[in-house]
Structure 1
Amino acid sequence: MKKLVNAPLEVVREMLEGFVALAPGQALLEGETVVVRADVPAALGARRVAILSGGGSGHEPAHAGYVGAGMLHAAVAGDVFTSPSADAVLAAIRAVAGTAGALLIVKNYTGDRLNFGLAAELARAEGIPTEVVVVADDVALRDTVEPARRRGIAGVVLVHKVAGAAAAAGASLAEVAREATEAASALGSMGVALGPCTVPAAGRPGFTLGEGEVELGLGIHGEQGVRRVAHQPADALVDTLLSTIVEDRDIGKGERVALMVNGLGGTPPMELAIMTRRALAFLAERGVKVERAWQGTFLSALEMPGCSLTLLKVDDARLARLDAATQAPAWPGRGTLVAQRRVVSTRGALPTIQGHPKPQPQMAKVKAGALAVADAWDAAEAKLTELDSAAGDGDLGLSLARGAAAIRALPEGAWGTPSGALMELGQALRRNIGGSSGPFYATALLRASRYLTNKVPDAADWAKAFQVAVEAVSELGGARPGDRTMVDALHPAAEAMARAVREGKSLGEAWAEATRAAEQGAEATAGMTARLGRASYLGERAKGIPDAGAAAVVIWMKALG
């Protein structure tokens, strides 16, 4: 797997240099891969309880992103997925702790417990009061190991916040340690991975997954999960994760919680939002009150696709710690939820045409043709998606499938007159086809509709309506023949139809000639250099692939024929 690194051995130091360069409240500890607060008082007696955490790198923005007033005083970074040394942890303690002491927040992994534990012992020997709180929030291991031996995963971030706020408020080391311990005990987390990640030094994924498989209950170091299951819709995965958490943590009706939806590094906000949507609904269905919720990437596993869900039981005191101000750059804010999801209605929608009370005789054929187009678009969805993905954004197949559904949904009253039907088709496609295709088709149909107003069209009228529709597309997008767009199919088709009608050919014969011209025009786009649209960004690399929009024109023209 390709990565944007210089050398595996330099990854951690260079990463921290990049982070700190954009964080005015942070500094690097000389000679160590440690990020510290830049505002730590020089006088040891003036320092409040120092909160430290860390572990292997690869979990960004943890832990350096949580260094700042109100959260961590220092973050100690080891190599990727490797615990930092006890000496590095001790150096961090010396740098930020004073007579009030230090609290080390440690995820429950053997290397972290050993090295942070030894550093705590060494610090105590130097006269620095030091306590350790271990976070073991991975409920996926509930049937495998006893609670104290579970892994620490994303929930540790919430413990950072609680402890950091307590320390900032002036609490003693014993008080801060108590609050952190209680928060850790009230946590439950569980994750799902859609694929593995790749450690820079290893250069290969930690495991492999089949196309239709996911890993449930994984840690944060690229390891496999507790069990491998078939991929499921997002809602089903959320239900599985949260069912395990609420059962393990005994979270029932009336309980108050904070929710964290955490991306593992390779999950886009779109997918995290879908997970959040279901998580909130799941908890509401069970009478659990979500007081705060956060969505984003808070503790990752390099570029792993997937997410984890965390629930933290809260009361007013713990909420106050979560709400307290912090300058840590990666903390997402208060996590306030809206009381009720708001949906506002639109105003000024265009009126629809109800149709002629006595449909014109030809309208049965017009409706049948439109429904044939819908069937053709559905049948071609995969083909158009493939074509559009090669030189565009890959959305054309799905967009036209939505258009097909919109055509089928038109009421019977839409099919009264040619002008009315084209108007209704244009409005329907405008509302349902995304991207550029929706505006193009809607504009073409609306322009043709206006031309046919009050007409019982003959072949010449249909040819002219097609011509003005094509002109509308060209005007709207600025495309001309040769630009490698849908116009390369539409323009020769309109010319061929008009010519055939002038020669006295029937409407069916004229449409057949127009379709052949469109097909030749679409095929020719494979040899063109795109001058408009996303394909123009590819330059010569788009050659050899027909334009997807032009191919779509051929599909619906053949269906009408």
Structure 2
Amino acid sequence: MKKLINDPRRVVREMLEGLVALCPDQALLAEADVVVRAARAAPEARPVAVLSGGGAGHEPAHAGYVGAGLLDAAVAGDVFTSPSTDAVLAAIRAVAGPAGALLVVKNYTGDRLNFGLAAELARAEGIPAEIVVVADDVALRDTVPPERRRGIAGTVLVHKIAGAAAARGLGLEEVAAQARAASAALGSMGVALGACTVPAAGRPGFALEEGAVELGLGIHGEQGVSREALQPADALVETLLGRILADLGTEPRARVVLLVNGLGGTPPMELAIVARAALAGLRARGLVVERAWCGNYLTAIEMPGCSLSVMQVDDARLALLDAPAAAPAWTGDGRVAPPNILPAPPAAPAAPPPEPGPLAPAIGAALLRVAAALEAAEPELTALDSAAGDGDLGISMARGAAALRALPEGAHANPAEMLAEAGQALRRAIAGSSGPFYAVALLRAARALEGQASPDAAAWAGAFRAAADAIGALGGARAGDRTMLDALLPAAEAFEQSAGQGLGPAWGAALAAAEAGLRATQEMTPRLGRASYLGARALGTPDAGAAAVLVWMRALAR
């Protein structure tokens, strides 16, 4: 187990100390793992207090929702373990006044028992207390009665509605009624791509083979209701939405809000893809999406996966969701709009293609050979770049190959035209550093050959030198920095020196020099690019950019 912790027995307390240290509006009780709002009115002036909590491991829940317009207190138990009755009671005593306390509880046995007993003890002390149980997991629709379902990420929306109702000064019964109605209008379902590791256990909670997902899981690292084959994100979202909406019984034109929740190990890139599909799926069914939120709201430590929550709303409920709130984990107002895709500015009118020159057929054949070679080399270039970079060079070169294949017929008319068109195509097709480097090189070479229908070897060598120099000027690299220039610069020198022997022999000399330059990069400490971050750890592996140079140079030699 690799985790940034000290003692598994101190994880929860140390986490809460860190969270509160970062939020001046929060405070931590000395004798219990309870986070409360730092600024509190005198007990007799306090509105209904809203509390929630549960086992740790769901961060940013629950402490992240302690703040104005949301929770007054959050109670944390050990990881995935209900907090004790005494801790919940301490929280009630700390934040409740005569108006009483509402406890928002997710539907797990331990939470219901400990929060329920604490509420009873609070009532015995004269503190009014109500409990709202959230059971929003529709995955259990065919397994248990509705009142036995689990509470999962949709609970966050109930926090918001209860907190806003309390902030309005409503009485305890009305705050509880608003929260219960919101819970009844809510459905959630999740999917996991892998397990999480509880610090005290030290190993993942279950094993999931490659190509499989757990569908319909809870939030405690457990398996789902079924194990299914991994599908594209759109298909998984469609499955989740279909089950949620079938359970809610939504009608066309119904107004809803959406919560896309990460389970802790899912990057924002993937959550945004899920959100895109969920919004489209809801709108395709004729539903009106009033608000949507996307991010980590209630997690399962580092589990990869997500859940979707849909809540039906009317004007009154939407107003509670829109009411002002300030807490570390509440990220915004959730306002959405229809997709706003702007058209690209019109391109300048294209010039008529030049008349094909004598080299047009050879140029076209050469481009196809280069494209095929780059495509065949994708796995090798990916492996090299992964060893000392970010691993994207192979796919970048494959995209470049596709761009070369797509060049119009007129691009083959003459050498300068081909180089200029290829440079523009690679600029558009290849992201990262490779695209600009190859684009500037080809554009500079095109200028060197302008007006030459059949350049001789010396002219080709001059264009090659101009291309290599352009790359160095743009990126700032020099010979010995372990970059593509360590293949290009020796090749340029050999090409120029051998130009008098004719194009074939001169290119052969350039290729041999480039091959020697590539081998030399294995012993060079990188000084530029991502490989430079590795320092001496990159030794022994040839530079990927220089290897890509050899791919297309060898293709041209053939």
Paired residue secondary structure (2:213): strand
Distance 1:167 1:430 in 2: 57
- 1:379-431 deviations in whole A, cap 9, x for unaligned? 11121111111111111111111111111111112221211111110001011
Residue identity in the other structure for 1:294: W
Q: Which residue of 2 aligns with 1:16?
A: 16
CA distance in structure 2 between the partners assigned to 1:304 and 1:458 by the alignment? 62
1:551 to 543, 547, 552: 547
Write out per-residue CA displacement over residues 253-284 of structure 1, whole angstroms, 9 at most, x where no aligned residue: 11110001111111111110000111111111
Q: SS in structure 1 opposite 2:492?
A: helix
CA shift for structure 1 position 355:
3.0
Distance 1:258 1:200 in 2: 34
Distance of 1:205 and 1:529 partners within structure 2: 39
Q: Distance in 1 between matches of 2:159 and 2:416?
A: 66
Asked if structure 2 preserves the Cα contact closer than 8 Å seen for 1:292 and 1:336, the reply is yes
Secondary structure at the counterpart of residue 559 of structure 1: helix
Per-residue deviation, 1:339: 3.6
Structure 2: distance between partners of 1:127 and 1:354: 88
- SS class of match (2:328): coil
The residue aligned with 2:493 is 495
Query: What's 1:515 paired with?
Result: 511
Match of 1:540 among 536, 539, 548: 536
Alignment partner, residue 7 of structure 2? 7
- Residue number in structure 2 paired with 1:81: 80
Q: Which residue of 1 aligns with 2:458?
A: 460
CA contact (8 A) 1:264 1:301 kept: yes
**2:376 partner letter:** A
C-alpha deviations, 1:489-512, integer Å up to 9, x for none? 11111112222212x2x3222222
Answering whether residue 479 of structure 2 is matched by residue 474 of structure 1, we say no
Conservation of the 8 A alpha-carbon contact between 2:255 and 2:314: yes
* C-alpha deviation, 1:143, in angstroms: 1.2
Query: Relative to structure 1, is the Cα distance of residues 446 and 353 closer, same or farther in structure 2, using a 3 angstrom cutoff?
Result: farther
- Please tell me whether the aligned partners of residues 198 and 204 of structure 2 are also in contact (alpha carbons under 8 angstroms): yes
Q: How far apart, in 2, do the equivalents of 1:278 and 1:543 lie?
A: 44
Task: Pick from 406, 409, 415 the counterpart of residue 409 of structure 1.
Answer: 406
Name the CA distance, whole Å, in 2 between partners of 1:351 and 1:442. Answer: 21
CA distance in 2, matches of 1:540, 1:412: 47
Distance 2:522 2:499 in 1: 29
Deviation at 1:354, TM superposition (A): 4.3
- Measure how far apart 1:345 and its partner are: 2.3
User: Which structure 2 residues correspond to residues 8-87 of structure 1 after superposition, within 5 A?
Assistant: 8-42=8-42, 44-87=43-86
Distance 2:369 2:157 in 1: 56
- Counterparts of residues 7-406 of structure 1 (less than 5 Å): 7-42=7-42, 44-346=43-345, 354-357=352-355, 359-406=356-403
Unaligned runs of 5+ in 1: none
Between the aligned partners of 1:405 and 1:323, the Cα distance in structure 2 is: 48
Distance 1:99 1:263, change over 3 A: same
**1:496-532 Cα distance to aligned partner (Å, 9 max, x none):** 2222212x2x322222222222122112111110011
Contact 1:255 1:313 in 2 (8 A): yes
Determine if contact 1:352/1:424 at 8 Å carries over to the other structure.
no
How far residue 340 of structure 1 moved from its aligned partner, in angstroms, is: 3.8
CA gap 1:524/1:469 in 2 versus in 1, 3 angstroms: same
In structure 2, what is the Cα distance between the partners aligned to 1:209 and 1:127? 50
Distance in 1 between residues matched to 2:402 and 2:282, nearest whole Å: 34
The 1-side partners of 2:348 and 2:140 are apart by 57
State the 1:169 CA deviation: 0.4
Q: CA deviation at 1:353?
A: 5.5
Q: How far apart are the structure 2 equivalents of 1:165 and 1:10?
A: 34
The 1-side partners of 2:514 and 2:225 are apart by 56
CA distance in 1, matches of 2:263, 2:479: 47
* SS, match of residue 488 in structure 2: helix
In the alignment, is the contact (CA less than 8 A) between 1:353 and 1:414 conserved in 2? Answer: no
- Distance in 2 (alpha carbons) for counterparts of 1:480 and 1:328: 51
Counterpart residue type for residue 319 of structure 1: L
How far apart, CA to CA, are the structure 2 residues paired with 1:12 and 1:241?
A: 32
Counterparts of 2:5 and 2:349, CA distance in 1: 57
Deviation larger for 442-451 or 465-474 = 465-474
Contact 1:217-1:225 within 8 A present in 2 as well: yes
- Contact kept, 8 Å, 1:354 with 1:414, in 2: the verdict is no
1:519 counterpart letter in structure 2: E
Q: Which moved more, 1:431-440 or 1:407-416?
A: 407-416
Say yes or no: does 1:444 pair with 2:467.
no
Letter paired with 1:420: E
Structure 2, unaligned runs of 5 or more: none
**Secondary structure in structure 1 of the residue aligned to 2:291:** strand
* Structure 1 residue 20, shift from structure 2 partner: 0.8
* Secondary structure at the counterpart of residue 438 of structure 2: helix
SS of match in other structure, 1:514: helix
CA contact (8 A) 2:359 2:413 kept: no
- Cα distance in 2 for partners of 1:306, 1:339 equals 26
- Distance in 1 between residues matched to 2:465 and 2:338, nearest whole Å: 53
The corresponding residue for 1:484 is: 482
Does the residue aligned with 2:372 lie in a helix, a strand or coil? helix
In the superposition, the TM-score normalised over structure 2's length comes to 0.98
Count residues in correspondence. Answer: 556
Q: Return the alpha-carbon distance in structure 2 between the equivalents of residues 528 and 2 of structure 1.
A: 33
Q: Give the deviation of 1:315 after TM superposition.
A: 0.5
After superposition, give the CA deviation of every residue in 1:300-338 in whole Å (9 maximum; x if it has no partner).
100111111110101100000000001112101110012
Distance 2:157 2:206 in 1: 29
Q: What CA distance in whole angstroms lies between the structure 2 residues aligned with 1:302 and 1:471?
A: 51
The 1:31/1:400 distance shift into structure 2, 3 A limit, reads same
CA distance in 1, matches of 2:472, 2:540: 24
For the residues of structure 2 that align with 1:82 and 1:264, how far apart are their CA atoms?
Answer: 17
Q: Within 2, Cα distance between the matches of 1:511 and 1:6?
A: 61
Kept in 2, the 8 Å contact 1:430–1:442? The answer is: yes
What's the CA shift for 1:350?
7.0
**Runs of 4 or more consecutive aligned structure 1 residues displaced over 6 Å after TM superposition:** none
Which region of structure 1 is more displaced relative to structure 2, 472-481 or 308-317?
Answer: 472-481
Task: For residue 24 of structure 1, give the secondary structure of its aligned residue in structure 2.
Answer: coil
Q: Following TM superposition, by how much is the alpha carbon of 1:252 offset from its aligned partner in structure 2, in angstroms?
A: 2.8
Counterpart residue identity of residue 416, structure 2: S
C-alpha RMSD of the superposition: 1.2
Q: Is the 8 A contact 2:107 2:150 kept in 1?
A: yes
**Structure 2 partner of 1:560:** 556
> Residue type of the partner of 2:132?
V
> Do the aligned partners of 1:353 and 1:423 also contact (CA within 8 Å) in 2?
no
Give the whole-Å Cα distance in 2 for the aligned partners of 1:283 and 1:70.
28
User: 1:301 corresponds to which letter in structure 2?
Assistant: A
